[in-house]
Chains A and B, each alone.
Chain A
Amino acid sequence: MVLKIIEYLGIVFGVIILGLLYGGIARKVIARIHRRYGPPFYQNILDVLKLFAKSNEASHGVMFNLGPVIAFTGVLVSLFFIPLGSFRPLFSFEGDIFVVFYLLVVAPLGMALGAGEGANPNATIGIARGLTLMLGYELVFFLSVLAPMIHHRTASIATLVTVQSAFPHWNVFPFFISAFAGLIALHGMMGEKPFDQVIAPHEIASGPMVEYSGKFLGLLQLYHAVGIIVETGLVVDIFFGGGNWLTFILKTFFLFITLVIINAVMPRFRIGQAVKFYWKYPLVISLIGLLIVAIWR
């Protein structure tokens, strides 16, 4: 029991470090694309340590303080219901895709509540945009994930990973149309450009994060780090065959860096355009993918 708990704690720390490193490397990659030198790849770890060391930070009330805590809780809970490479948390068999779908909402909700009490209109505009964007990408993601789910007749992520264990059985090959739509949805879910209306530093001063500093911002950084692993990991598990711990890390890393490279060269949609984009193209693509599965079945 104690060993199990230690193992879980180790996994959590590992995922946090991994997520922070991914973020740092992404900064470096973006900098090189922009012809800058960029920070060192471990910069994000230093940032978090610095933020937690700060004191006397401004607080707007209880919910403001708890917001980042709930956000961090949300991604940690989702982490336990997703198979991470060869490491299969006990609970990954006890919940399925729909559970993870709803657990993934906890984190943005926590951040939204905390930012709401900050009483800064920039933050609320950011959240309202985020929720509206959700109306775009969530449905696309849902529909594209349905394709392998219906084909294999299971909603359990662990089972989906098992059926595509060997290389040529990856879901991405038979369901490449759905996978494509799913990747566009993932791009919006991660808030990379052109879907970064929530943060939009030049318009609304980092949106929900505008009032946060010190350890609150540190917690949000941790939330973001774990969120990277959870979201890319979910897609890797469903479409790219999971794998053992090494291939899992490699796959999530390449997936993430691909998104980051697209992010580095893209401008930003207006929020209405972004939602409309999702309703126009990826939605249709994901429906075509589903239709093919329905005919093929």
Chain B
Amino acid sequence: MTLFYILLILFVGGILTYLGAKISKHLGHAIAFTSSTLSLYFHSILYGKLYGFTIDIGLFKLHAVAFSPLSWLIGEIVVVIGFLSILASFKEKHSDFYYLSVQFLLAGMLLFVNAYDSITLFLSLELVTLFSFFGIWDGRKESAVKYLIWNLLGAYFIVAAIAILYRFTGSYFMNEVHYLGKAQKLVLFLLLFAGFAVKSALMPFHVWVKDAYRDSPHSFTALLSGAVSKIGIFGYFLIMFYTFAKFFIGAKYLQLTLAWLGGITALFAGIYATTKDDSKELLAYSSISQLGYVVAGIALATPLSISAGAFQFVGHAIFETLLFFTIASVAYRTGTTRMTELGGLIKKMPVSFIGLLFGIIALSGIPPTVGFPGKWMLYESFIIEGRILLAAVIFTASITAFLYSFRLVYSIFLGPLPSKYEDLKEAPFNFTFPIIVLLIPLLLFGVQPGIVLYYIDRFLSIFGIGKIEHSYSYIVTSLGKFNALYVGIVFAAAFVFAFIVYLLGGRTRKVHQFDNFTAGEVVDESYKLHYVDDFYLFLEREIKGFLKLRIESLYDWLSKFVDGLGDAVRRVYSGSHGDYIVYLGFTLLLLILIYGGKLWF
């Protein structure tokens, strides 16, 4: 029942926070802090246990069981990021309702990853959608509405699938379905997949992400990207390897189609990310791109590729959250997330810089950080399976990651410091604490990937998919071997050696940022020496045609079409009595023409 108490803590804590904040802001903060800490503690002690509960709420029973090892893993990611996000949000301006929605959102996500029947699944999914909507609403209302519309579309897909499933099987449980035809299974699978794809922002359902991530409160974006997107990924695992396991493992073409969808998402989102001026928009596209790898991995459905996808989403939860927290701390001090207005902050905010630096290193997948083992397993599995073009697409996507991540770190922290930021200070502890906390798993799982692979292995064996060969520090595939610990050690040793060589040289002196080579020109603040606008202009020029092709224009066309249709229908109701009499006359005439004499007899 521990899980039930955690949910109770979060629900009651949420309501108490709201009421307490009416009395005093600090009381609200204290309650929110307590409830998130308690939920973190109680969820952490569930490690390695079987847990779950059933409650009867009249019409039906809600079943929540941690039936998959990934449930605890994603649950832990949710509570950790939730705790850090609540901690950071104390320093930001929020309505009292915000803390309630964050805690309800955490409860919804915890319920979702343990949902055992489709009613609980749908209920928790709606909790997640609704309360993340309120979270974004706290930032900007238009983006929240956009988020809600897209996620409702996903919810429609899922509720339709659940209803059909019930109609055919007569059971609300998410058990494996046996007695359905192949076509029926395919339709149901695709409906559920599309529903979860909206949550995890797979193309072409990614349109809401850019606005929602950019405009949501900064600490809430970390939660959205780090935890809420994992809901969709967990949904994929649920339908691919549990509800439709036999069907999906056999369906080679379906696997390949979904894997390509993931690959194309990774590549296109990566290219779009390089063209963005706003750091949160850039990170939004990078988040979509990284989740594309995950989909490509798990959709291929071999033990190695599933491990790769699963490892990648754990990595994504760590580094993407870290990156959003560093942006949150920068935005807290400077009040902007536009990269063109920032620069040179390394001297003022060193901790945030280190966070962002390691974040982008992991994001680009450079060893020995958490970003690498997942990517490595992904390439190996693609090549073992003979999916070479897919491997090439993913590889290109990972090169775009170098491009946009360098742009991110350079534009914000390097380059000249604008004079308006002369007396800037490091962000407060509420922001630096999450950054420091997240750096630990980022490096630890990078040199000891076995800690995470242990769960993935258990998942693979429980669901009868297979196993991969690994220990805490190395992974072996039929193609090659990767020893993360050795890479880490060699890295440290080589750095020490290079640093000794550095110390051998002469002394240095510190110079002003404008004391540099300008071909004899005397420069001051009036010259913009920060190369940030149109960073990759020469690349954009080469791919102009590609950048014009956007799925948004299709949606715009669709919305305009529906709008026009509605407008045409509206014109019928002109409000003038004369028109209505004419309609009446025409209708009668039509009836007479159709039915002829019959009407009179």
Contacts and interface: CB of A to CB of B under 8 A. Distances in A.
Nearest to A80: B490
Contacts of A103: 366-367, 487
Nearest to A137: B399
A103 to B, nearest CB: 7
Nearest to A218: B505
A143 B391 CA distance: 9
B205 to A, nearest CB: 27
A77 B535 contact: no
Contacts of B403: 131-132, 134-135
A191 interface: no
Given A12-B497, A155-B480, A272-B538, A142 B392 contact: yes
B46 interface: no
A276 B487 CA distance: 35
Nearest to B367: A102
B516 A118 contact: yes
A219 B501 contact: yes
Interface string A17-53: 0000000000000000000000000000000000111
Contacts of A61: 346-347, 510
Interface string B375-386: 110011001001
Interface in B327-383: 344, 346-347, 353, 357, 361, 364-367, 372, 375-376, 379-380, 383
B261 to A, nearest CB: 21
A128 B535 CA distance: 7
B396 A139 contact: yes
Contacts of A131: 402-403, 406, 536
B555 interface: no
B508 A65 contact: yes
A129 B504 contact: no
B508 A58 contact: yes
Interface string B71-103: 000000000000000000000000000000000
Given A60-B511, A69-B495, A222 B501 contact: yes
B376 A98 contact: yes
Contact of A102 (B366, B383, B509, B510): B366
Interface stretch (A145-153, A175-183, A228-236): A145-153
A170 to B, nearest CB: 21
B497 A146 contact: no
A252 to B, nearest CB: 21
Given A72-B498, A94-B474, A113-B409, A154 B511 contact: no
B529 interface: yes
B490 A154 contact: no
B486 A58 contact: no
Contact of B414 (A54, A95, A116, A143): A116
Nearest to A12: B497
Given A56-B506, A116-B410, A102 B372 contact: yes
A120 interface: yes
Nearest to A55: B506
Contacts of B376: 98-99, 102
A134 B410 contact: no
Interface residues of B, number: 76
Contacts of B361: 109
Interface in A64-113: 65, 68-70, 72-73, 76-77, 80-81, 91, 93-99, 102-103, 105-106, 109, 112-113
Given A95-B483, A116-B415, A153-B478, A76 B494 contact: yes
B557 interface: no
A69 B392 CA distance: 31
A143 B382 CA distance: 13
Interface size class of A (residues with CB under 8 A): 35 or more
Given A272-B542, A276-B542, A142 B506 contact: no
Contacts of A154: 479-480
Contacts of B365: 102
- Among A131, A149, A211, the most chain B Cβ lie within 10 Å of the Cβ of A131
A58 B515 contact: yes
B541 interface: yes
A121 interface: yes
Nearest to A56: B509
A239 B414 CA distance: 40
Nearest to B377: A98
Interface in B403-447: 403, 406-407, 409-410, 414-416
B517 A210 contact: yes
B502 interface: yes
Contacts of A122: 517
Contact of A120 (B380, B392, B529, B542): B529
A105 B402 CA distance: 9
B388 interface: yes
A153 B479 contact: yes
A205 interface: yes
A63 interface: yes
A95 B486 contact: yes
Nearest to A140: B392
B519 interface: yes
A62 B502 CA distance: 13
Contacts of A125: 531
A150 B388 contact: yes
A109 B369 CA distance: 15
B406 to A, nearest CB: 6
A115 to B, nearest CB: 9
Contacts of B494: 73, 76-77, 80
Interface in A216-272: 216, 218-219, 222, 270-272
Given A119-B414, A128-B535, A96 B481 contact: yes
Contact of A124 (B347, B400, B531): B531
B530 interface: yes
B140 to A, nearest CB: 31
A189 interface: no
A198 interface: no
B379 A134 contact: no
A293 B529 CA distance: 50
Contact of B502 (A12, A68, A98): A68
Interface in B29-54: none
A215 B399 CA distance: 31
Given A102-B365, A135-B400, A290-B388, A57 B517 contact: no
A91 B489 CA distance: 11
A269 B202 CA distance: 37
Interface in B5-19: none
B416 A119 contact: yes
Contacts of B505: 51-52, 54-55, 57, 214-216, 218-219
A106 B491 CA distance: 10
Nearest to B515: A58
B354 to A, nearest CB: 10
A171 interface: no
A76 B402 contact: no
B539 interface: yes
A113 B479 contact: no
Q: Which of A76, A135, A210 has the most CB of B within 10 A?
A: A135
Given A109-B366, A120-B517, A96 B396 contact: no
Contact of A59 (B392, B491, B510): B510
A96 B506 contact: no
11 contacts: A57-B508, A73-B491, A80-B490, A94-B486, A98-B375, A138-B395, A138-B399, A139-B399, A150-B386, A155-B383, A214-B505
What 7 pairs between A and B have smallest CB-CB spacing? A215-B505, A55-B506, A96-B480, A116-B414, A155-B480, A94-B483, A76-B494
Given A60-B510, A105-B402, A127-B406, 20 more contacts: A54-B506, A59-B510, A60-B516, A76-B498, A91-B487, A96-B482, A98-B376, A99-B367, A105-B366, A119-B530, A131-B403, A131-B536, A132-B536, A134-B402, A135-B400, A153-B479, A214-B506, A214-B508, A215-B505, A219-B502
